[in-house]
Structure 1
Amino acid sequence: MLKELLLPLVSRFSAFNVFQYITFRSAYAAVTALFISFLFGPWLIRKLKNRKAEQVIREDGPATHLAKSGTPTMGGLMILLSLSVSVLLWQDISNSFTWIALISLLGFGLIGFVDDYLKIFRKSSEGLQARFKFSAQVLLSLLIMVVLYINGNAHTTLLYLPFLKNPVLDMGLFYIPFGMLILVGTSNAVNLTDGLDGLASGLILLVGLPFAAISYISGRADFAAYLQIPYLPESAELTVLCFALAGASIGFLWYNAHPAEIFMGDTGSLSLGGVIGVIALMTKKEILLVIIGGVFVLEALSVIIQVVFFKLRGKRVFRMAPLHHHFEKKGWDETKVVVRFWILGGLFTILSLSTLKIQ
C-alpha cells in the first residue's frame, strides 16, 4: 500500500524512491510485524486471560505439561494481526500473489479460530469436529487452487523436482487436487508440531527465511537464469511476505518461549501452515517444501506411522506421537527437544538452499 501511495510522489520527494526496492520493503515488513507483536502482545494476553481463553491440556500427555494449564491460547490472533498489517503496508497490493497469500492466511486462521473457540467454550481438548474441520480445509484449499489456476502462468501446472533443471510433468487440471493436498497437509503438519513452547514459531522462522531467498531469486530474471530455475516475476513480492512472516514469528516467540505466556492455538498453526503451503505453490517449490519444512514432515509422518501400525498390529512405534512427545517421554527436557528440533530445522534450511545450485 505504501508503495502505491508514496512512489508516485518521487518527483517531489526523491527519498520515496526507496519504496520501489523489494529489499527495503522486506526489511521494514519484518520490523513492522515485530513492532506490532511487541505493541499488542501484552494487551492480547491480558484480554485472553480475562476471558478465560485457557489452553486445555491433554491428560494423556507428558506429566510436565499439566503445569501449563491456565495459559491463554488463541495467540495466533497476534500473528494474524501483525502479519496481515505488515503485508498490506509494505507489499505491492496490485500483485495477485499478495491477495492469494492473504486469503490463505486468513481463511485457515478462521478455521483455527472456530476450533479454538469451541475448545475454550466446551473446556475440552476436542474442538471443531474432525469431519467439519477437514471439510472446511478442503473447500478453502479448492478455492485457493482455482484462483491460482485461473491466474496462472506458463509454469503454474508444471512439476519441478529438487536437483533437476527441467520440469518432469505438466499436471494440467490435476494441479488443483495436488495443490489442495499441499495446503491441507501443510496446515495440519504445522498444527501437529505446535505442542511445545516455541517449537512451531521457531521452525516457522527457519522456513520463512529460505522461502524469502527463493522468492527473491525467482523474481529476478538474471538470478533465475543463472541458477536455471523458473522465472516468476510476481513471486518477488513474496519476499516481503516471507520477511513479515519471520518478524511475526520472532514477535510471537518473545511471548511463546519457555515458559510460554501464550499459545498460538489452531488459529496460528493452521494459518501459518496454510500460508507456507501457498508460498511453496506460488514459487513452484512444492516438492522442495518437503525439505524446507522437514521437521513438520517428520512430525506428521510420526502420527501417520503411529496410527497405521496400531490399527494393523496393535502396537505403537513411538512412545507418543507427534514425534516431539516421544522424546519427552524418553526423558528429554522440553527445552532440549525444542532447541534440537530447531537445529534440525536449520539443517533442512541449509540443505534446501543448496538444491538451488546443485541441479
Structure 2
Amino acid sequence: MLYYLFQYLDKVMDVPGTGVFQYITFRSSLALLLSLLLSTIYGKRIIAFLSRQQVGETVRELGLAGQNEKAGTPTMGGIIIIFATLVPVVLFARLHNIYIVLLIVTTLWMGTIGFIDDYIKIFKKDKQGLKGIFKVFGQVGLGVIVGSVLYFSPVVTVKTDTASSKIFQQTSQTVVRSASMEEKSTVTTIPFVKNNEFDYAKILEWIGPDYEKWAWLVFIPVVIFIITAVSNGANLTDGIDGLAAGTSAVSVFALGIFTFVSGNIIFSNYLNIMYIPHSGEMTVFIAAFLGALIGFLWYNSYPASVFMGDTGSLTIGGIIAVLAIAVRKELLIPLLCGIFLVENFSVVLQVSYFKYTKKRFGEGRRIFLMSPLHHHYQKKGYHESKIVTRFWVVAIMLAILSIVTLKLR
C-alpha cells in the first residue's frame, strides 16, 4: 500500500526522495526491519493472549529429559510469524505482482490448515488434531492452485538465454536489451550441471509434436508433491525449541539470494542463470518472512515461551516450497532443505523398518532410538540446545553449498 502511495507522490506530485520506494532493496530492508519489530514487540502480546485463552501445549509421554516441563507452554505461535510477515508485505510490496499474490495465498491457506489442526488439538482435546487425509487435501489443493497459476498465467515467463542480453551504460542508468524474448516454459534448474536447464515437458515427448501443451500433466503433480513434502518436513522438524524456525530462516535467506539474482537481468546475465521477470519482488516477501522467523526465535529459543504449532510449521514449509518452485530451484530442495529431508526420511525409515521386522521376525525393531532424528539425539542424552545449534550449523553449510551452485556446475 505504501508502495502505491509513494509511487503517486513520485510520479504525479514529484515529491523529492519518494522515488526510493521503487527499489526492491530499499523496500526489502524496511520489510525486514518492520517484521523484526512486529514479531518481537507484538509477539509478547500475542503470547500473553494465547496464555489467557489457555492455548497450552499438551505434551506426550516420550521419556525425554525436560519434556514434561513444556506442558502448558502456549502454542499456535505461528500466528506471530504470519502476522509479522503479512503486514510488511501489504505495506511495502507490489500487491499486483503475481508471485506476491501466490505467496500471500500460500501463507493464509497453510496457516488456516495449521490453525484448524491446532484448534482441534487444544480446544477439542483431540491429540490427533486434523485428520491426515484432510491435511493432504489442503496441501494438494494449494499445489493445484500454485501449479495452475505458474503454468497458465501469461505473466509467469522465463528467459534462459541471458548471455544474449546486451548491457550498457546510458546517462546515469543501466539499460538492458535482450536479443531473445521471454517465454512461457516449464523449464527448471538442475544443480551442479553445466547447461543445467531441464524442461518437464520433455518427459512427454513420446506423445508427439504437440507434447508441450500437455506439460501441465507433469508440472502440476510435481508442484503438489513438493509442497506436500516440504510442509510435512517442516512440521516434523518442529519438535524442539528453535529448531524449525532457525533452520527455516537459513533456507529462506538462501532463497532470498536466488530470488534477487534471478529477478535481476544484470545479475542473471553475469551469473549466466535463468532470468525470471517480476520474480525479484519476492525478495520483499522473503525479507519480511525472514524477519518474522528471526523475531519469533526471540521467544522460541530455549526455554521456549511459545511454540509455533502446526499454524507455523505448515505455513513455513508451504512458503519455502512455493518460493523454490517460483524461482525454479525446486530440484535444489533436497540440499537446501536437507534438515527437513533427513527428519522426514528418519520417520519413513523408522516406520518402514519397524513394520518389516515385525512381519518377518514377529518383533518390531528400530533404527533410531526415536524418530524424528532430533528425538534420537535427545534419547542419547544431548541437550536440546546443543542439538539445535548443531542442526543450525549443518543448515548453514547446506545453504552455502546451495548458493555455490550459482557458479559451481
TM bucket (normalised to shorter chain) is over 0.9
Q: Equivalent residue for 1:138?
A: 140
Q: Report how many residues are paired.
A: 359
Q: Equivalent residue for 1:56?
A: 58
Residue 232 (structure 1) shift: 0.4
Q: Distance in 2 between matches of 1:193 and 1:23?
A: 31
Matches within 5 A, 1:77-88: 77-88=79-90
Q: Distance in 1 between matches of 2:96 and 2:138?
A: 28
Q: Equivalent residue for 2:209?
A: none
Q: Note if 1:301 corresponds to 2:328.
A: no
Comparing 257-266 with 155-164, greater Cα deviation is found at 155-164
Q: Equivalent residue for 1:12?
A: 14
Comparing 289-298 with 193-202, greater Cα deviation is found at 289-298
Q: Note if 1:242 corresponds to 2:286.
A: yes
Residue 113 (structure 1) shift: 0.2
How has the CA–CA distance of structure 1 residues 271 and 34 changed in structure 2, closer, same or farther, with 3 Å as cutoff? same
Which whole-Å deviations, capped at 9, do the CAs of 1:255-286 have from their partners, x for residues lacking one? 10110000000000001110110000100000
Residues 370, 376 of structure 2: 8 Å contact kept: yes
Q: Equivalent residue for 1:37?
A: 39
Q: Equivalent residue for 2:78?
A: 76
Matches within 5 A, 1:209-228: 209-228=253-272
How has the CA–CA distance of structure 1 residues 140 and 61 changed in structure 2, closer, same or farther, with 3 Å as cutoff? farther
Residue 61 (structure 1) shift: 5.1
Q: Equivalent residue for 2:382?
A: 332
Residue 241 (structure 1) shift: 1.2
* Corresponding letter in the other structure for 1:201: A
Q: Equivalent residue for 1:161?
A: 190
Q: Distance in 2 between matches of 1:329 and 1:252?
A: 27
Residues 65, 378 of structure 2: 8 Å contact kept: no
Corresponding residue SS for 1:233: coil
- TM-score, L = length of structure 2: 0.85
Q: Distance in 2 between matches of 1:311 and 1:213?
A: 42
Give ranges in structure 2 of 5+ residues lacking alignment.
Answer: 158-182, 202-214, 358-363
Q: Equivalent residue for 2:129?
A: 127
Comparing 252-261 with 309-318, greater Cα deviation is found at 309-318
* Corresponding letter in the other structure for 1:315: R
Comparing 301-310 with 167-176, greater Cα deviation is found at 167-176
Q: Who wins on radius of gyration, i.e. which is larger?
A: 2
How has the CA–CA distance of structure 1 residues 257 and 155 changed in structure 2, closer, same or farther, with 3 Å as cutoff? farther
* Corresponding letter in the other structure for 1:30: L
Matches within 5 A, 1:63-212: 63-151=65-153, 152-153=156-157, 154=183, 156-164=185-193, 165-171=195-201, 172-173=215-216, 174-212=218-256
Residues 37, 295 of structure 2: 8 Å contact kept: yes
Corresponding residue SS for 1:287: helix
Q: Distance in 1 between matches of 2:17 and 2:77?
A: 37
Which whole-Å deviations, capped at 9, do the CAs of 1:57-82 have from their partners, x for residues lacking one? 12135242111001000000111111
Residues 58, 125 of structure 1: 8 Å contact kept: no
Residue 124 (structure 1) shift: 4.2
Q: Distance in 2 between matches of 1:295 and 1:72?
A: 25
Which whole-Å deviations, capped at 9, do the CAs of 1:38-97 have from their partners, x for residues lacking one? 231111111111111011112135242111001000000111111011111111112110
Q: Distance in 1 between matches of 2:38 and 2:79?
A: 12
If each structure's helix is expressed as a fraction of its own residues, which one has the higher value? 1
Which whole-Å deviations, capped at 9, do the CAs of 1:290-336 have from their partners, x for residues lacking one? 21111111111111111111111232111111110010001100100
Identity %: 42
Q: Distance in 2 between matches of 1:159 and 1:144?
A: 16
Q: Note if 1:291 corresponds to 2:335.
A: yes
Which whole-Å deviations, capped at 9, do the CAs of 1:139-189 have from their partners, x for residues lacking one? 222122212222132364123210223323333111000011011111110
Corresponding residue SS for 2:331: coil
RMSD, matched Cα: 1.3
- TM-score, L = length of structure 1: 0.97
Which whole-Å deviations, capped at 9, do the CAs of 1:200-258 have from their partners, x for residues lacking one? 11111101111111111001112112212110021101111111111001110001011
